[in-house]
Amino acid sequence: MKVQYFADTDTVYVLLKENSISETRDLDENTLIDVDADGNLIGITIEHARERADITNFVFQQFAEQVTA
């Protein structure tokens, strides 16, 4: 997964999986989703990111998989 911020357009792009994009769909007027040929989510574009998301406080956390006995 890769998160990119483009300051010149105030846009965040979240790439979830490296795969060919088959279609880009409008989720709302400022959010687009990219899907592959099977309809699987590839990426998300968030426009006007500063007002729609707290990008100045971006944190990535990874949690260990819990194993149950």
User: pLDDT at residue 41 above 90?
Assistant: yes
Element (H, E) at 45: strand 41-47
**Could you tell me the residue range of the domain that residue 29 belongs to?**
2-57
8-23 pLDDT, tens digit per residue, is 999 999 999 999 999 9
Tally the domains of the chain. Answer: 1
Is residue 63 included in any domain, yes or no? no
Is residue 25 included in any domain, yes or no? yes
Is residue 62 included in any domain, yes or no? no
pLDDT top residue among 58 and 37: 37
What's the chain's length in residues?
69
Is residue 66 included in any domain, yes or no? no
Is residue 65 included in any domain, yes or no? no
3-class DSSP state for residue 5? strand
Is residue 45 included in any domain, yes or no? yes
- How would residue 55 be classed by pLDDT, with cut points 50, 70 and 90? confident
Is residue 30 included in any domain, yes or no? yes
| pLDDT score of 42 | 97
**pTM for the full predicted model:** 0.80
